[in-house]
Structure 1
Amino acid sequence: MDIRLWILLVTIPLVPLGIIRTMKALVPLSITALVLIMFGLSITLYYTFTDIPPLSQRELITHPKDWPLFFATVLFAMEGIGTVLPIENSMEHPQHFLGCPGVLNTAMSVVVVLYGFVGFFGYARFGPDTKASITLNLGSETSLGELVKILVALSILFTYGLQFTVPTEIVWKKVGPMVSEAKQEVGYYVLRATMILGTVIIAVIVPDLGPFISLVGAVCFSILGLFCPAIIELMTYYEEGYGPMKYLLVKDTIVIFLAAAALISGTYTSIQEIVEFYMK
């Protein structure tokens, strides 16, 4: 069956799961997704640590022209940052979210370790043949390899509502006032379902996400994840001052420079990759 038909079939469970708006209802789904993704990760690591060739056979540092793709992909990994504020606002004790260790620091430490761990050993195992998603390297000839793909797909499905909360709330603030008071709730769910269908249409048009991951990371997350927060912090502390030796000014200036470099170089390199991919 064509992959586009599978994408359309996924719309059936995606819409009802994606329109859930209350955090309490999303928690069980998120826990289930976490269990599935950890189980899938365990199987992936099993395959990854099987028949690892010597590191001497791997190119430890790639050509500098490919570095922008790496940085853009790393920025894409920040996609979960959009759920930070909704989670903090829905916590019974939001003061536990920040600080040391804090929910945010603990969660992000685990994420960084897992990303680095899987990235290093995934490349050590599969080398330059590593695909956009490491699960695709497991092949379709084994039942466990297919099981991992199913587990990852289900985990994404179950967390779709959580990831969709922030963009929906942003759009609803603009659209909500245009809807009558009596139809506010219906209008919200219609908007959310419409936006979900929009993502499905994009997936049907561009079913192969690999070449676009770096582009999304370079454009969206370099601006929203690095550039904008640095500018906002500079504006916030403008009157109070930037601390001893103006460390906030120095830090944010470096972040802005890195964001600009990632945006320009990452976008250029990613577009080159996309053109080469579709010219094959």
Structure 2
Amino acid sequence: MFEMEERGKSETVCLQSVTQPDSLEANKDGSNNEDYDPHLYRQVTAPTNNLETLVHLLKCSLGTGILAMPQAFARAGLVTAIISTVLVGALVTHCLHVLVRSQYAACKMRRVPLLTYPESMSASLSAGPSSLRGLGRPSAITVDVFLVVYQLGICCVYIVFIADNIKKIVDPHYVMSIEIHMVIILIPLLAFNLIPSLKLLAPFSALANVLTFIGLGIVVYYLLSGKKSNEPLDLWGSPATFPLFFGTILFALTAVGVVIALENNMKTPKAFGSPCGVLNTGMSIIVVLYVAVGALGYVYCVSECSDSVTLDLPQGPLATSVISMFAIAIFISYGLHCYVPVEVVWRGYLLPWLQRSGSQRLRLWEYALRISLCLITFVLAIAIPRLGLFISLFGALCLSALGICFPAIMEICVSFPDKFGPGRIRLIKDVLLFLIGIVGLVAGTYTALLSIIRSFQPQPTEAQPLHA
């Protein structure tokens, strides 16, 4: 998940309130909402065309998630993982369509050109069944909480990733614990996270994207040409570890934090969700890439797959250069991802409170917030330095809710009371999606937390066999 300046701008638009243009004042009457098309009233600076939007969608899905796919395949089994990746990809794509359609319907009801994800959730519930209408404001706060937790979770993953990869480079010369490597990178991370402007981050972001694509190309070359493991392949996997696979694949595939922003910033937004549009095309390419890297990586290392496939590359100058590329790219992306929770907390909660209290040290408070959020991710990463389990945990916990449950609830509410289709098929479908999301959230979170706890327990040895 590596982004250029445009993605950062898009997420900022997605996370901030949108001012309604004066031209809409004439439409604030009792007329039918079907007469109002939000797309016609959007005022976007430098809108993106279809190809640019597709490129952004691909960029934000190629990062630590795709590098963790070989280990995910090891947890699910080769055949099960291939089939499940395609099925989860189809599920995620459908839920993203549901999210975009529901946001559009919420904009029509509110007669505004744009709404953020939390605002869309609030507007949808306010128009739904009477039992849910009082949850409008709490639901927006809930979405904000999940967004912040998810983005901070990504930052935790990135700290562990950087430290793991630096350790692999340094270990042949001088061995240090992973925690020491995290402490060493803390000060640069704090300094980088204090940069307040996305414009200043843009050149670094461009460099991160170049390094990412070069690194992925070299990784695929190694997987195709390197010596494969002679260990027999597990084709079907185990139900006990499948929830970890589910969490990882959700983390890798679900670009829920950016999809609404990308659609909101398009020159032709109707082309985003069309049958052969940007979303379907982009997700198809992404699923193919993830299946390819996951399968090739699993065949390459079988049960010995590390949290990131870069850690399985053989020693050598080329492998060292790949690891360095990804470490630098992830370091840069940390600042971009931490920018999102800063914006949510600062603009949505802390800044309004400070303005009401008459505080004059707004810049100082903003820097304090940036440092605090960075330290939170550092403490979590150093306490639980398990990259793969972190990915599974935050994928299952946050993206089951943000990517599946919440869009299903939104569609139920915007379709209420008489837009569920023949036999109320849409209602049945959304209830099933919600249940799938809840099962994935509970099972994935429980399995990831249990695995994290077990990873800290001493392992039995031959001298000390494990007894029932």
Q: Same fold (TM over 0.5)?
A: yes
Alignment of 1:246-265 (within 5 A): 246-265=424-443
Distance 1:130 1:112 in 2: 20
Change over 3 Å in CA distance of 1:26–1:231 after alignment to 2? farther
Match of residue 178 from structure 1: 353
Q: Using the alignment, how far apart are the partners of 2:373 and 2:229 within structure 1?
A: 47
Alignment of structure 1 residues 58-77 onto 2, 5 Å: 58-77=233-252
The 5-angstrom pairing of residues 193-232 of structure 1 reads 193-232=371-410
Mean Cα deviation higher: 54-63 or 148-157? 54-63
Matches within 5 A, 1:1-280: 1-51=176-226, 53=228, 57-78=232-253, 80-86=255-261, 91=265, 93=267, 95=269, 98-100=272-274, 104-139=279-314, 141-172=315-346, 173-180=348-355, 182-239=360-417, 241-279=419-457, 280=459
Q: Is contact 2:244-2:389 (8 Å) kept? A: no
Shift of 1:253: 1.9
5+ residue gaps, structure 2: 1-175, 460-468
1:150 corresponds to which letter in structure 2? S
Greater shift after overlay, 66-75 or 174-183?
174-183
2-structure distance, mates of 1:130, 1:54: 10
Contact 1:83-1:163 at 8 Å conserved across structures: no
Coordinate RMSD, CA, aligned: 2.9
Partner Cα distance (1:83, 1:166) in 2:
11
Check whether the contact 2:408–2:433 (CA below 8 A) recurs between aligned residues: yes
Which blocks of at least 5 consecutive residues in structure 1 are unaligned? none
Quote the offset at 1:135 in angstroms.
1.0
Preserved contact between residue 222 and residue 262 of structure 1 (Cα < 8 Å): yes
Letter of the structure 2 residue corresponding to residue 219 of structure 1? L
Instruction: Letter of the 1:272 partner, please give it.
Output: L
| Structure 1 pair 24–274 and aligned structure 2 pair: CA distance change class (3 A) | same
The 3 A distance-change label for structure 1 pair 103 and 183 is farther
Distance change in 2, residues 1:11/1:143 (3 Å): same
Is the Cα contact below 8 Å between 2:229 and 2:302 reproduced in 1?
no
Contact 2:256 2:402 (C-alpha < 8 Å) held by counterparts: no
Q: Write the deviation string for residues 174-193 of structure 1: whole angstroms up to 9, x where unpaired.
A: 11122246433442233123
Larger radius of gyration: 2
Compared with structure 1, are the counterparts of its residues 103 and 159 closer, same or farther at alpha carbon in structure 2 (3 Å cutoff)? farther
Deviation at 1:224, TM superposition (A): 2.2
- The CA deviation string for residues 6-51 of structure 1, in whole angstroms up to 9 with x for no partner, is 2122223323433445444444333321211111111211211125
Structure with the largest fraction of helix? 1
- Counting matched residue pairs gives 278
8 A Cα contact 1:78 1:221, kept in partner: no
One-letter amino acid of the counterpart of residue 188, structure 1: E
For residue 273 of structure 1, what is the amino acid of its counterpart?
A: S
Distance 2:232 2:224 in 1: 16
Task: State the TM-score, normalizing by the size of structure 2.
Answer: 0.53
Deviation at residue 75 of structure 1 after TM alignment: 1.5
CA displacement at 1:217 relative to structure 2: 1.9
Paired residue secondary structure (2:361): helix
Cα deviation code 1:160-212 (max 9, x no counterpart): 23322332222221111222464334422331232112211222222232333
Change (3 A) 1:201 1:53: closer
Name the TM-score, length of structure 1 as normaliser.
Answer: 0.85
Alpha-carbon distance between aligned partners in 2 of 1:9 and 1:56, rounded to the nearest angstrom? 37
CA contact (8 A) 2:386 2:452 kept: no
The percentage of counterpart residues that share the same residue type is: 36
Paired letter, 2:232: Q
